[in-house]
Chains A and B, each alone.
Chain A
Amino acid sequence: MKLEQSESYQVNRRRFIGTSSVAAAYALLGGVELTPAQETEKPVEHEPAGPKVKCAVIGLGSWGRELVNTLLRIPQAELAAICDTYPAALKRAAGLAPSAKPIQDYQSVIADPDIAAVLVATPTHLHKEIVLAALRAGKHVYCEVPFAHRIEDARQIAQAAKAAYKQVFQAGLQYRSDNQRLYVQRNIRSGELGDFVMVRAQWHKKQSWRAASPNPEREKALNWRLDTELSPGLVGEIGIHQLDQVSWFLNRLPLAVCGFGAVRAWDDGRDVADTVQVIMEFPGRLRLVYDATLGSSFDAEQEIYFGTNATVVLRESRAWMFKEPDSPLAGWEVYAKKEVFVPGNETGIVIAADSSKQIMHIEPTQQPAVPQKTALHQALEAFIGNCAEFSAEVQDFTDAYGQSDRATFEQHMAANFKPRPAAGYKEGLIATVIALKANEAVRTGRQIEFNREWFELS
Chain B
Amino acid sequence: MHIVTKTRRAAPATPARPCVWHRLCLTVAFVGIGCVVFAADTAQQTGESVGGRVRYDSQPGSLVQIDGTSNIHDWTVKGGVIKGFIEADAEFPASAAVPGVKPPRVEVTIPVRTLKSQVAIGAKKMDEIMQEHMNMAQWPNIEYRLVELLPKQTNSAAGTTFQFDAVGALTVSGVTRTNRMPVKIERVGQDKLKVTGSTNLKMTDFGIKPPAPALALGVIKTGDDVTVRVEWVVAQLTRPDSATTAK
Residues of A that sit less than 8 Å from B by CB: 37-42, 44, 46-47, 49-50, 359, 385, 392-393, 396-397, 399-402, 404, 408-409, 411-412, 415-416, 418, 420
Contact = CB atoms under 8 A, between A and B. Distances in A.
B183 interface: no
Nearest to B84: A400
Contacts of B80: 397, 412, 415-416
Contact of B58 (A38, A49, A401): A401
Contacts of A415: 80
Nearest to B109: A400
Contacts of A393: 81, 114
Interface in B85-134: 109, 111, 113-114, 116, 121-125, 128, 131-132
Contact of B239 (A44, A46, A402): A402
B116 A416 contact: yes
Given A401-B58, A409-B60, 5 more contacts: A41-B121, A396-B114, A401-B60, A401-B83, A418-B123
B131 A49 contact: yes
Q: Which of A40, A46, A47, A401 has its CB near the most chain B CB atoms (within 10 A)?
A: A401
Nearest to A415: B80
Given A396-B113, A400-B81, A412-B80, A37 B216 contact: yes
B128 A49 contact: yes
A396 B123 contact: no
Nearest to B83: A400
The 5 closest A-B pairs by CB, nearest first: A39-B216, A400-B83, A416-B80, A396-B81, A40-B121
A41 B58 contact: no
21 contacts: A39-B217, A40-B121, A46-B18, A47-B15, A49-B113, A49-B132, A49-B136, A393-B114, A396-B81, A397-B60, A399-B83, A400-B82, A400-B83, A400-B109, A401-B60, A404-B60, A412-B80, A416-B79, A416-B114, A418-B116, A420-B124
Nearest to B246: A400
Contacts of B59: 401
Interface in B30-82: 57-62, 78-82
Contacts of A399: 81, 83
A38 B79 CA distance: 28
B48 to A, nearest CB: 13
Contacts of B217: 39
A107 B121 CA distance: 40
Given A42-B125, A415-B80, A402 B241 contact: yes
Contacts of B116: 416, 418
A359 B114 CA distance: 33
Interface string B215-226: 111000000000
B125 A41 contact: yes
Given A39-B215, A41-B122, A402-B241, A408 B60 contact: yes
Contacts of B128: 44, 49
B137 interface: yes
Contacts of B132: 49
A265 B203 CA distance: 69
Contact of B60 (A37, A359, A412, A420): A412
Contacts of A418: 116, 123
Contacts of A402: 57, 239, 241-242
A416 B81 contact: yes
A396 B84 CA distance: 12
A418 B81 CA distance: 15
Contacts of A42: 125
Contacts of B84: 400
Contacts of B136: 49
B122 A40 contact: yes
Contact of B113 (A46, A50, A404): A50
A359 to B, nearest CB: 8
Nearest to A354: B216
Contacts of A420: 124
Interface in B172-217: 215-217
A37 B217 CA distance: 12
A399 B241 CA distance: 9
A401 B84 CA distance: 9
A219 to B, nearest CB: 46
A40 B114 CA distance: 22
A439 B151 CA distance: 73
B111 A396 contact: yes
Nearest to B239: A402
Contact of A411 (B60, B79, B123): B60
A392 B216 contact: no
A458 B109 CA distance: 39
A228 to B, nearest CB: 45
A409 B59 CA distance: 11
Nearest to A405: B60
Nearest to A362: B216
Contacts of B57: 401-402
A417 to B, nearest CB: 8
Contacts of A49: 15, 113, 128, 131-132, 136-137
A359 B217 CA distance: 9
Contacts of B113: 49-50, 392, 396
A396 B132 CA distance: 19
Contacts of B82: 400
Nearest to A37: B216
A39 B59 CA distance: 38
A41 B120 CA distance: 12
Contacts of A397: 60, 80-81
Nearest to A39: B216
Contacts of A409: 60
